Amino acid sequence: MGNGAWYNPMTWDGPWIWVWAALFVIVFCRAGATYLLGSAARAGIARFKPVQKLMRASVYQRAERALDRWGPPAVAASFLTVGLQTAMNLAAGVIRMRWYRYIPALVVGGAVWATIYTTIGSVSVAAIAAAYTRWPVPTVVVTVLLGLALVGWIIWRLTFVKSAQHQETQS
């Protein structure tokens, strides 16, 4: 495992493929367990009469079918994000996405995640750590500014999209 901790993949020594395989197994088990947790939560909450009534509604049934059909690309893409993949895997379990749709999305997303994490992911974290060690204040300032720029861009996009949709509906 190298000179680092066994729980930190960036300190693991060994062939790249073995590190990748270990990370793939970890993400597969973690995401799959989150899916199963969502499925179990669905089974538990579905026992309540108001929830049963909601789940029998035609609009809910249509939404669930759409998510089951079109959700796998979203599940796979969620592995490119930080924070969304857990919610997406949980939601896939809650809506009862069929396993033959979920598993391929999990395999593709997990493979991409493991590849990113074992290549550029570990390099970028190491570069940020090295920059912080040498220049802590500028590193924090640049990180905060980049975060604020991202938030500003997201707000701008949401505002622009809403105003464009509003203009379309009035036309």
Per-residue H/E/C for the chain: CCCCCCCCHHHCCCCHHHHHHHHHHHHHHHHHHHHHHHHHHHHHHCCCHHHHHHHHCHHHHHHHHHHHHHHHHHHHHHCCCCCHHHHHHHHHHHCCCCHHHHHHHHHHHHHHHHHHHHHHHHHHHHHHHHHHHHCHHHHHHHHHHHHHHHHHHHHHHHHHHHHHHHHHHHC
pLDDT digits (tens, 9 = 90+) for 27-44: 999 999 989 988 888 888
Average pLDDT over residues 81-98: 83
| Per-residue model confidence as pLDDT tens digits over 138-166 | 988 998 898 889 888 878 877 776 676 66
pLDDT at 152: 86
pLDDT > 70? residue 122: no
Whole-number pLDDT of residue 112:
92
State if pTM tops 0.85: no
